[in-house]
Amino acid sequence: MTTGNVLAQMTWHVTVLTLYPEMFPGPLGASLAGKALAAGTWSLDVKSIREHGIGAHRLVDDTPAGGGAGMVMRADVLAAAIDAATPAGDERPRLLMSPRGAPLTQTRVRTLSAGPGALIVCGRFEGMDERVIAARALEEISLGDYVLSGGELAAMALIDAAVRLLPGVMGAEASGAEESFEHGLLEYPHYTRPQDFEGRAIPEVLNSGHHGKIAEWRRAEAERLTRERRPDLLAARPDHPARK
């Protein structure tokens, strides 16, 4: 299945390898990502791994070497699927959505969005043969310390995070620069009308018109929220006392 304007030379191009191509584009076909897909800002190819399966039943998995529960995706099947999806000269990173991968960060998302796109492999079952991960230089990426039924939902989340950073996708360029994680901090609180909601008023400084004081308040609130909820982010900042 091919979605989007793949003829556009500068289009950010994603290829997804999955056993369930019918799951795509899913939510990627709506909202910001969907509009950008329809406009040709990015393109999506979804390919079935089962097309490269073994025998009449297109088998893609087998029992784990050494015994154990579940099934393991075969290295030869996955290698054939990856090779067929990556023509000569394809410089896109090869990603594998995996709970044992490096945590996905906003920094990695921004790097991906600035590149040509990505090839994303969605695993299933107990996992995949380790040899194909090494042989095809797959970069394992995790969304967090939990396990999903497969890599498809994780792939959608990664794609959405990167697409929204593509030029022209978000209405205001500042929208992406002042979000959580962009400066090692969580985002400050937001308010809008009505002025009073169930006895809770908008902080006075936000109605002051004093841009300097507003910026100071937002910075202080971002630091407060980060300190309360994600102290690990503060500890990782280069200006943290412990890192000087």
Domains contained in the chain, number = 2
Return the exposure string of 78-106: e unless at least 16 CB atoms fall within 10 Å of the residue's CB, then b: bbbbbeebbeeeeebbbbbbbbebeebeb
**176 pLDDT above the threshold of 60:** no
Return the exposure string of 16-42: e unless at least 16 CB atoms fall within 10 Å of the residue's CB, then b: bbbbebebbbeebeeebbbebbeeebb
- Residue 148 structural domain: 2-163
Residues in the chain: 244
Same domain, 98 and 208: no
How does pLDDT run across 1-47, given as a tens digit for each residue?
Answer: 555 433 334 699 999 999 999 999 999 999 999 999 999 999 999 99
Structure tokens at 101: 């991968």
Same domain, 155 and 86: yes
Q: Which of 50-54, 173-177, 233-237 has the highest mean pLDDT?
A: 50-54
Q: Does a structural domain hold residue 175? A: no
Return the exposure string of 122-131: e unless at least 16 CB atoms fall within 10 Å of the residue's CB, then b: bbbbebbbee
Same domain, 110 and 213: no
How does pLDDT run across 36-81, given as a tens digit for each residue?
Answer: 999 999 999 999 999 999 999 999 999 999 999 999 999 999 999 9
